Amino acid sequence: MTQKSLFDKPEFEKPTFEKAGPSPRSASDAIKANIDGGARGNPGPAAYGVIVRDAKGEIVAELSDYLGIQTNNYAEYSGLLAALDFAVRKKHLSLKVLSDSELLVRQMQGRYKVKSPGLIDLYDRARALVRKLEHFSIDHVLRQYNKDADALVNQVLDSRGRGAR
């Protein structure tokens, strides 16, 4: 599934949309989400963190949750689902996701198959939410560019008293 992202354009004044239909809302409906998930142990105590920014780069939401004992990949997908759910619930037309999980990114791009039985349902749920958006893209970033989302994960895990980083 290939979709354009408003974030790929240097200017947000004249967005183009691939889907036909009613007039699109302004580009201010475009959001970017840095997502992360982590488990201390694999499996182990797990959490996700999501930083959502508007087209101006201002933080509009910080999402995080404790997931119990889960795998790292489960936590990564949980962060993606939280970002997608936020975009759909708040009626944003465009979502660009940045993740330091190369596996998740390549699976969502269709470059890797999802083989783990524990991830297939999460993947299917993510794809269903993507179809509700006008534009979606997901890109891999180095961990150093995902520090804010990583910090949310660690805040959640630290608050649960689940060991050192």
Q: Which pLDDT tens digit goes with each residue over 106-118?
A: 999 999 999 999 9
* Residue 85, in any domain of the structure: yes
pLDDT score recorded for residue 28: 54
Could you tell me the residue range of the domain that residue 45 belongs to? 27-159
* Residue range 55-98, pLDDT digits in tens: 999 999 999 999 999 999 999 999 999 999 999 999 999 999 99
* Residue 165, in any domain of the structure: no
* Residue 80, in any domain of the structure: yes
| For residue 6, pLDDT beyond 50 | no
28 backbone φψ class: left, alpha, beta (φ>0; ψ -120 to 50): alpha
The CATH number assigned to the domain holding 84 equals 3.30.420.10
* Residue 106, in any domain of the structure: yes
- Please give the Cα distance from 149 to 85 (Å, whole number): 17
* Residue 3, in any domain of the structure: no
